[in-house]
């Protein structure tokens, strides 16, 4: 009787999960299918659920609109930003988690509050600095700018990850004659990889999707994919197929990167859930 009474509840949970999955996946389905439609089919009302797919939108954005060039710029900037943020943020997070020094609380507060600043407030000063230093429309300008909001993310997540590692491991390694750098590199960093993976994925996503600074700092030579996508919406014409094709191309690298790090991602997102 108890098993039979739980059956309706079980089916209700399955139905709810299916509805949530459908709600989350449907925008991606609509984006991909619209990218395979012509402009006439995309504007049909009611929507055309059955149609002959075409790759013309992808050909147009990759060949005529040089979206491949913009995607390469986005990849260079995002990968470089993520690598620098992780390489600089992990040692800083380890120091904040393991050592006591003067001004530690203030430094930690400064890192966290960097995320509170509105990007719009910084847009004009950053534009003027980049123009005066000759860095406008270069990858370096975007990488340095993106580090200002990806580095605090890495430090924030990795500091909590390093704090969760027992300090007894450090003391045991010191008794064996290991240096502090060896302890960080060989013991603490491998154990903190879930947090490092989460921070790297978030840094890559934020750098890859960023639009405001990419639009004002890289108008031509270093133009990124999100900034390129905005140029399609001009005047009274809205090429939905090209916009959706561009959106699909922008989403694919993020999905691949997240899938490659999914093992560490799940562990990092659930760290601290069970004591």
- Give 192-204 pLDDT, tens digit per residue: 888 888 888 888 8
pTM of the model: 0.81
Higher pLDDT, 14 or 257: 14
Q: What percentage of the chain has pLDDT greater than the value 70?
A: 90
Higher pLDDT, 206 or 8: 206
Helix axes 240-260, 262-269, angle to 10 degrees: 80
User: For residue 103, what is the DSSP state?
Assistant: T
Tokens of 157: 């997540």
CATH topology of domain 70-269: MetI-like fold (1.10.3720)
User: Angle 50-55-59 (CA atoms, 0-180°, nearest 5)?
Assistant: 155
What's the mean pLDDT when you consider all of the chain?
Answer: 83
pLDDT at 275 over 50: no
| pLDDT on residue 266 | 62
| pLDDT on residue 146 | 92
- Summarize pLDDT for 48-99 with one digit per residue, the tens: 788 888 888 888 888 887 888 888 999 999 999 999 999 999 998 998 888 8
Integer CA distances (angstroms), 253 to 100, 201, 256, 259, in order: 40, 11, 5, 10
pLDDT at 1 over 50: no
| pLDDT grade for 267, boundaries at 50, 70 and 90 | low
Half-sphere exposure of 7 (CA within 13 A, CB side): 5
- Summarize pLDDT for 183-235 with one digit per residue, the tens: 888 888 888 888 888 888 888 888 998 888 888 888 888 888 888 888 777 66
Q: Alpha helix locations (H) across the chain?
A: 2-35, 39-42, 56-59, 67-98, 104-113, 119-133, 139-163, 168-175, 180-183, 189-191, 193-209, 212-217, 225-230, 240-260, 262-269
pLDDT at 153 over 60: yes
Backbone angles phi, psi at 237, to 5 degrees: -100, 130
Tokens of 22: 């459908």
Higher pLDDT, 226 or 118: 226
User: Angle 113-115-118 (CA atoms, 0-180°, nearest 5)?
Assistant: 110
- How far apart are the C-alpha atoms of 130 and 217, rounded to whole Å? 7
- How far apart are the C-alpha atoms of 238 and 242, rounded to whole Å? 9
């Amino acid at each position: 009787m108890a098993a039979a009474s739980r059956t309706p509840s079980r089916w209700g949970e399955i139905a709810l999960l299916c509805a949530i999955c459908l709600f989350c996946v449907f925008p991606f389905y609509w984006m991909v299918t619209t990218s395979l439609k012509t402009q006439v089919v995309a504007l049909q009302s009611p929507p055309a659920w059955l149609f002959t797919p075409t790759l013309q939108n992808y050909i147009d954005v990759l060949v005529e609109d040089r979206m491949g060039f913009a995607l390469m710029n986005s990849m260079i900037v995002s990968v470089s930003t993520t690598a620098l943020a992780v390489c600089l943020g992990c040692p800083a997070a380890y120091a904040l988690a393991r050592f006591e020094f003067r001004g530690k609380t203030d430094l930690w507060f400064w890192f966290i509050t960097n995320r509170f600043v509105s990007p719009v407030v910084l847009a004009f000063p950053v534009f003027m600095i980049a123009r005066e230093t000759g860095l406008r429309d270069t990858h370096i300008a975007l990488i340095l700018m993106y580090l200002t909001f990806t580095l605090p993310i890495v430090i924030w997540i990795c500091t909590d990850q390093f704090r969760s590692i027992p300090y007894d491991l450090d003391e045991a390694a010191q008794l064996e004659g290991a240096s502090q750098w060896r302890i960080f590199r060989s013991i603490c960093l491998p154990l903190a990889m879930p947090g490092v993976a989460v921070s790297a994925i978030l840094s890559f996503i934020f750098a890859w999707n960023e639009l405001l600074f990419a639009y004002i700092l890289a108008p031509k030579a270093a133009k990124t994919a999100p900034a390129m996508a905005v140029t399609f919406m001009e005047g009274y014409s809205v090429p939905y197929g090209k916009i959706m094709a561009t959106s699909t191309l922008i989403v694919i690298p993020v999905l691949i990167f997240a899938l490659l790090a999914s093992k560490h991602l799940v562990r990092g997102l659930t760290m601290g859930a069970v004591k």
